[in-house]
Amino acid sequence: MREPPAGQDPGPPTARAAAPALLAYVGVRAVGLLILWIWAAVEDRDPYQLLTDRWDAVWYAGIAEDGYGHQVRLPDGGVHSDLAFFPLLPALERAVAAVTPLGVHDAGLLISWAASLAAAWGVYAVTAHVTGRRAAGVLLAALWGAYPTAFVQSMAYTETLFTALAAWALYAVLTGRWVWAGALALTAGLSRPSGAAVVAAVWLPALVTVWRARRVSPRLLLGVALAPLGWLAYVVYVGVRRGGPFGYFEVQAEWDNGFDGGVALLGFVWENLTTNVVGGIGLAAALVLVGWLVWLLVRERWPLALLAYTVCMVVVSLVGSGYFGSRPRLMMPAFALLLPATMWLLPRLRPSRLGVVVAVAALASGAYGAIALLGPGPP
């Protein structure tokens, strides 16, 4: 397993050290927002409403305002309950709205944007640590901001909040800060179902550490114990609300978010190949690309915490039976998928040409985001 370069971690990078990465990230997202604003103006739409009051953002705001208990009955008789949404973001929205003049929708956007900076900072910290190169951290943070579905990073959604918690939990594991790792994993588990991937990123390296040292430190044991408590607490809460131990999974099944080992995904790919050949080939190619990137990470033996987190995020994003258009968004927090591209580009291109690559990616991401947000379906 590849180990981070020795002597490269005097402590978490300060805001000043991370400033180039943060500026690059903000610049990329600003391009996306500018494209959205121009496109929305042409179509006489309100870009602010698109970012704060649409799709899942509406559910989070509703929980923040009224607590859990709302559900929607579908024309086919199915039920969508707000218990499918984890509580951290709505709790923060309610808290911010209580101490500021902001409403919960505005608070959600503020939290998401602040969390996006914390996420970019964490992405930079992890990347610079495992590669020993600050430039790699800057480039990967910028590329993460230009991810195809990065427009969600600018919405009142949980992606940036979760990524910030996950990235800093990974950094804590990589630098042996086990209590911090467990506490951050606990908090991540309150933000999204994929918090389980952060737990895996704490537990597996902890097991290896114990195996090698043949002893268990109290701080490591505490971190391991803390890691799953957030995710488990919410699952238990939903079970109590629904009156059964499997209540949470029943709620997710009502949203068609069950796990089937990838059967539904294969069916979706086949359906596209037989009804829309170009789209089907593109979808299949995207899945092959994701698999190849995971294989590269494993082959290059990046640290176990990073591998465990990334593999779990990819698997969780692909093996469910829910809405397939959301899969790229669900996979977005797996920022290490961008490591192979980062490490390939960095030694081959001068900074000016890297800037061109990032700019083109930002424009493409911004255009895709505008199309998605101004369209009828969810992201």
Q: What is residue 11's predicted lDDT score, i.e. its pLDDT? A: 76
Give me the residues paired with residue 136 across strands.
none
Residues 307-321: what's their mean pLDDT?
A: 90
> Which is more confident, 15 or 154?
154
Give me the residues paired with residue 30 across strands.
none
Judged against a pLDDT cut of 70, whether residue 8 lies above it is answered with no
Helices and strands per DSSP (H, E), number in the chain: 18, 2
Residues 335-345: what's their mean pLDDT?
A: 97
- Residues 311, 371: Cα–Cα separation, whole Å: 29
175-203 pLDDT per residue, tens: 999 999 999 999 999 999 999 999 999 99
> Which is more confident, 262 or 183?
183
Q: Write out the two tokens for 73.
A: 């009955």
CA distances to 86, 131, 166, 302 from 127, rounded to whole Å, are 28, 6, 13, 11
pLDDT band at 30; cut points 50, 70, 90: very high
pLDDT band at 39; cut points 50, 70, 90: very high
Q: What is residue 378's predicted lDDT score, i.e. its pLDDT? A: 59
How much of the chain exceeds pLDDT 90, in percent? 78
63-100 pLDDT per residue, tens: 999 999 999 988 887 889 999 999 999 999 999 999 99
Judged against a pLDDT cut of 70, whether residue 323 lies above it is answered with no
Residues 355-359: what's their mean pLDDT?
A: 96
Tell the residue number behind the tokens 């630098």, with chain if given. 175
Judged against a pLDDT cut of 60, whether residue 9 lies above it is answered with no
269-279 pLDDT per residue, tens: 888 888 888 87
* Average confidence score pLDDT of the chain: 92
- Residues 277, 258: Cα–Cα separation, whole Å: 27
118-168 pLDDT per residue, tens: 999 999 999 999 999 999 999 999 999 999 999 999 999 999 999 999 999
- Least confident range of 4-8, 126-130, 218-222: 4-8
- Residues 114, 367: Cα–Cα separation, whole Å: 23
Q: What is residue 12's predicted lDDT score, i.e. its pLDDT? A: 86
Closest CA to 260 of 316, 329, 301, 178: 316
At 320, is the secondary structure helix, strand, or coil?
A: strand
Residues 214-228: what's their mean pLDDT?
A: 95
Judged against a pLDDT cut of 90, whether residue 41 lies above it is answered with yes
At 16, is the secondary structure helix, strand, or coil?
A: helix
How much of the chain exceeds pLDDT 70, in percent? 96
pTM across the whole model: 0.95
**Residues 335 and 144: beta-carbon distance below 8 Å:** yes
